[in-house]
């Protein structure tokens, strides 16, 4: 039996049983009499076998009729990418390794080379690019789902791209838009939509959000200003950004208590204490709790900021930090009267965390086209992460079907739709086994 207190290994894992019989066989080594089993001790060890490559041979016999000489042959099976030697499993492993596990392609070449499979980096790059083209309609469907929300979290991050003007590298931009209203009790599936641009001009978010009407939770980037003018989109600010400016000052002051920066952090901390309590509640409940508890805190905080601003130098870091909050006060306080809005934009920042880790490893994308490829892959894999779906299993499922899937039924391949189908299939299988 297993040792008490030892954490059990997951039941879904496949198991291989090895029976260890005594050296003497079925006879007693002491007297020679026969042995009978009176119990057994079982111990489990979690083992791992590295992924291996194998070749799938598709054989299509040609059959001829003895009478009319008609030749019959099965149609060639479709591939994820036409005339590509890689199957769905290999394409999935490459995509997940780079965009979820942050492994540069040259390292993947080395890993495959250890198993005797020689592939150049350019070959793998082409595979990823072709996959992105195939998956673009699915990424666009996720984008449409995101923009149907009442509120979207937005942010952007730089990414280095090669092949700019004069063949010089330039700084591109990955824009992220996240739909995740679980903090306000909404049951809609969360999703993230990435878009790439070669620069950071405000025309890009304006194009991305041209069909969106609702609340945009973002930082105070001036490129968003144009989309707020007609009232179609309401600006919601981020107290994490406002707090971070005070935190930077606090760190430079060696985190000494009693300073102006520390006092500001304590006051903003009261806002986040209320947010921790309202997280997951309904939008109506969140609004009521904020109006009762957060509104007085913010009123006192604004008075303190105005008083402090009159005491410090106009060009000091403290004045700039306070000035950020006061100049964006309306956007920063819109959340008090609308329970759908969060007090911060951490949802978008978390969505960009994988990009930040990835670019530390692969450093840059090969071109603007590579930036668009990254946007498609991050959209699919990021949405899988938000819905707690195994990206390896999901992406292989999609790649093995999407080439023949009707474009007008693309929503059937959305991550949460596929996960729901898996769950239904599992329940049906359990029912049949029980019967």
pLDDT 10s digits, 351-379: 999 999 999 999 999 999 999 999 999 99
Choose between 68 and 348: higher pLDDT. 348
Task: Kindly tell me if the per-residue pLDDT of 33 is higher than 90.
Answer: no
Which residues lie below 8 Å from residue 325, measured CB to CB, with a gap of 6+?
242, 305, 332
Count the residues in the chain: 435
Which of 27-31, 32-36, 80-84, 234-238 is predicted with the least confidence, judged by mean pLDDT?
Answer: 27-31
Region 180-190 average pLDDT: 95
Which residues lie below 8 Å from residue 135, measured CB to CB, with a gap of 6+?
376, 377, 380, 398, 399, 402
Average pLDDT, the chain: 91
Which residues lie below 8 Å from residue 27, measured CB to CB, with a gap of 6+?
33, 34, 35
Confidence of residue 46 (pLDDT cuts 50, 70, 90): confident
Task: Kindly tell me if the per-residue pLDDT of 28 is higher than 60.
Answer: yes
Choose between 321 and 5: higher pLDDT. 321
Q: State the pLDDT at residue 199.
A: 94
d(CA 235, CA 250): 28
- Per cent of the chain over pLDDT 70 is 95
Task: Kindly tell me if the per-residue pLDDT of 53 is higher than 80.
Answer: yes
pLDDT in tens, 399-419: 999 988 999 999 999 999 999
Region 140-159 average pLDDT: 97
Q: State the pLDDT at residue 435.
A: 62
d(CA 409, CA 411): 5
Region 162-190 average pLDDT: 89
Q: State the pLDDT at residue 68.
A: 86
- Per cent of the chain over pLDDT 90 is 72
pLDDT in tens, 307-352: 999 999 999 999 999 999 999 999 999 999 999 999 999 999 999 9
Q: State the pLDDT at residue 7.
A: 64
- pTM above the 0.75 mark? yes
Q: State the pLDDT at residue 163.
A: 79
N-terminal to C-terminal alpha carbon distance within the chain: 30
d(CA 435, CA 428): 11
Closest by Cα among 44, 190, 110, 137 to 406: 137
Q: Are strands 214-217 and 191-197 parallel, antiparallel or unpaired?
A: unpaired
391 contacts 84 by C-beta, under 8 angstroms: no
Q: Which residues pair with 179 in a beta bridge?
A: 191
180 contacts 352 by C-beta, under 8 angstroms: no
Residue 323, phi then psi, degrees to nearest 5: -60, -35
| H/E segment holding residue 430 | helix 415-434
Residue 107 structure tokens: 């390292």
d(CA 343, CA 282): 15
Q: Where do runs of H (alpha helix) occur along 115-259?
A: 121-147, 203-208, 225-228, 239-252
d(CA 209, CA 364): 26
Which of 84-88, 138-142, 194-198, 298-302 is predicted with the least confidence, judged by mean pLDDT?
Answer: 84-88
Task: Kindly tell me if the per-residue pLDDT of 24 is higher than 70.
Answer: no
Closest by Cα among 407, 429, 403, 410 to 87: 403
Q: What value does the CA radius of gyration of the chain take, rounded to a whole number of Å?
A: 29
Which residues lie below 8 Å from residue 148, measured CB to CB, with a gap of 6+?
179
Q: State the pLDDT at residue 11.
A: 82
d(CA 338, CA 295): 12
Region 77-91 average pLDDT: 84
Region 235-259 average pLDDT: 96
Confidence of residue 5 (pLDDT cuts 50, 70, 90): very low
Region 268-290 average pLDDT: 96
109 contacts 119 by C-beta, under 8 angstroms: yes
Closest by Cα among 200, 201, 157 to 177: 157
């Amino acid at each position: 039996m297993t040792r008490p207190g030892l954490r059990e290994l997951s039941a879904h894992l496949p198991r291989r049983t090895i029976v260890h019989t005594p050296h003497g066989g079925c006879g007693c080594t002491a007297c020679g009499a026969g042995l009978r089993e009176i119990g057994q001790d079982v111990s489990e060890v979690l083992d791992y076998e590295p992924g291996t490559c194998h070749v799938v041979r598709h054989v299509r016999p040609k059959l001829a009729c003895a009478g009319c000489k008609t030749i019959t042959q099965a149609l060639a099976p479709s591939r994820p990418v036409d005339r590509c030697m890689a199957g769905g499993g290999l394409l999935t492993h490459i995509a997940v390794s780079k965009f979820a596990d942050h492994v540069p392609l040259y390292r993947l070449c080395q890993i495959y080379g250890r198993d005797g499979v020689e592939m150049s980096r350019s070959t793998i790059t082409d595979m990823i690019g072709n996959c992105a083209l195939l998956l673009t309609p699915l990424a666009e469907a996720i984008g449409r789902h995101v923009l149907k929300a009442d509120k979207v979290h937005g942010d952007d991050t730089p990414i280095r791209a090669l092949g700019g003007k004069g063949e010089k590298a330039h700084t591109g931009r990955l824009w992220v838009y996240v739909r995740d209203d679980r903090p306000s009790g909404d049951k809609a599936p969360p999703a993230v939509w990435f878009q790439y641009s070669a620069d950071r001009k405000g025309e890009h978010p304006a194009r991305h959000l041209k069909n969106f009407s609702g609340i945009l939770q973002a930082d105070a980037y001036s490129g968003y200003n144009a989309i707020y003018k007609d009232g179609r989109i309401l600006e919601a600010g981020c107290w994490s950004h406002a707090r971070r400016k005070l935190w930077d000052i606090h760190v430079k002051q060696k985190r000494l208590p009693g300073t102006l920066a520390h006092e500001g952090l304590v006051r903003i901390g009261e806002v986040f204490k209320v947010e921790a309590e309202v997280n997951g509640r309904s939008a109506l409940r969140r609004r009521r709790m904020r109006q009762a508890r957060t509104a007085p805190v913010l009123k006192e905080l604004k008075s303190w900021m105005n008083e402090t601003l009159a005491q410090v130098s106009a060009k000091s870091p403290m004045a700039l930090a306070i000035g950020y909050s006061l100049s964006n006060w309306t956007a920063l306080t819109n959340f008090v009267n609308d329970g759908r809005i969060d007090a911060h934009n951490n949802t978008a920042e978390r969505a960009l965390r994988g990009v930040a880790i990835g670019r530390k490893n692969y450093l840059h994308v090969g071109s603007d086209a590579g930036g668009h490829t990254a946007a498609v892959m991050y959209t699919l894999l990021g949405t899988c992460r938000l819905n707690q779906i195994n990206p390896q299993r999901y992406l292989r499922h999609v790649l093995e079907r999407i080439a023949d899937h009707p474009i007008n039924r693309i929503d059937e391949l959305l991550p949460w739709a596929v996960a729901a189908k898996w769950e239904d299939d599992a329940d049906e299988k359990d029912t049949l086994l029980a019967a």
